[in-house]
Homo-oligomer: A and B are copies of this chain.
Amino acid sequence: MATMQDVADRAGVTKQTVSNVISGRVPVRPATAAKVRAAIAELGYTPNLVARSLATGATRTVGLFVPSVVGAFYATVVEEVEDVLEEHGYHLLLSTTRLDGERARRHLASLTSRSVDALLIAGDNDLIDHLPLLAEARFPVALCAWESEVPDSFPVVTIDYEQAGYLAGRHLRELGHERVAVLASPAHGTRIRGFRRAFAADGLAVPDSAVHYAPEPSQPGGHVAATAALTADPAVTGLFATHDVLALGALEAARSLGRSVPHDLSIVGHDDVPESRLTWPALTSVAIPSREMARQAIELLLRAVAKSAAPTNSLQLLRPELVARGSTGPVGDPPGRPGA
């Protein structure tokens, strides 16, 4: 493995000159530079990044924590983050926390040891308890895709989840639905709040008894919750699933219970994952700009790294958008008239 000294010896200069040629921060006479470049090529020299990191104090690596990478939402976040990092010449150190807070804490602790220039935490499931650990981190930290209890000690780039819930609710209201139920995951309180606001605007309430929590954030979980919701109150005409996978399960459950979607049951999801387009009927869903969110968050972080200052501590809320498809229709829509 050739070292910078080897290159210097071969080119007949000192290693500082080699360093200058590589970094370009100090001008080098063209003839000298050419000799150095030739030596680099002949030796197949490639700088030792670890040594550089030790000298500069920067690793050009950014850590990213996500709850999981299975599932379109976080996978998209990962890819977008990687794209931005790539543009700026950074590497990605990935950690999936997988509902294991203890494991998350360990990973966090090891990143603390200077191995990362910045840290982005996506999703609020597993790390919330360990955030204080980060308060003294010597690298910038930002959060994204945060819904519950947005901490004010770090910059946050997230979705306006309240608005997302509201859009879902307003859509059902506009179609005339009055009696509805919610299929939820525990952390989705903000979406439910927004959903309720849409009904409250018309003097209607969505009682707690109409909120059914899925045993797990999966399609089968949604199936279970939807079945519970529809048997608890068969008069329900609209369902809001706080997560598309739950909506997919609800679609199944509706079929099992002989409810026709959207003719006698409307279903609206949240996230607008690609699969939503592929169900039958296609799922109406609240689309959230996840790529945009990831990009904003990581760029904010990289800006802080560049000027080696703390990032501006702000809360940025990106706007969701309702995408109406076939799974929702006017209440009382007679069967046979296809939805959307």
Contacts and interface: CB of A to CB of B under 8 A. Distances in A.
Interface of A: 1, 44, 46-51, 53-54, 59, 61, 68-72, 75-76, 78-79, 82, 86, 91-96, 98, 103, 107, 109-110, 112-115, 136, 138, 219, 248, 252, 255, 274-275, 278, 280
Nearest to A249: B278
A102 to B, nearest CB: 11
Contacts of A54: 48, 50-51, 54
Given A68-B79, A115-B50, A1 B96 contact: no
Give this chain's copy count. 2
Contacts of A75: 68-71, 75
B79 A70 contact: yes
B91 A92 contact: no
A114 B50 contact: yes
Contact of A112 (B46, B68, B136): B46
A50 B53 contact: yes
Contacts of A48: 54, 113-114
Nearest to A78: B69
Contacts of A275: 275
Contacts of A93: 61, 91-94
Contacts of A252: 278, 280
Given A69-B78, A94-B94, 20 more contacts: A46-B109, A47-B113, A48-B114, A49-B113, A50-B59, A50-B115, A54-B54, A68-B79, A69-B69, A69-B75, A70-B75, A78-B96, A79-B96, A79-B98, A82-B95, A86-B103, A91-B115, A92-B93, A219-B274, A252-B278
A58 to B, nearest CB: 10
Contacts of A44: 136
A88 B13 CA distance: 43
A115 B278 CA distance: 42
A110 B49 CA distance: 9
Contacts of A109: 46
Contacts of A86: 103, 107
A230 to B, nearest CB: 18
Nearest to A64: B94
25 contacts: A1-B138, A46-B109, A46-B112, A48-B113, A49-B110, A49-B115, A50-B50, A50-B115, A51-B54, A61-B93, A68-B79, A69-B69, A78-B94, A78-B96, A79-B96, A79-B98, A82-B95, A86-B103, A86-B107, A93-B93, A93-B94, A94-B94, A219-B274, A248-B278, A275-B275
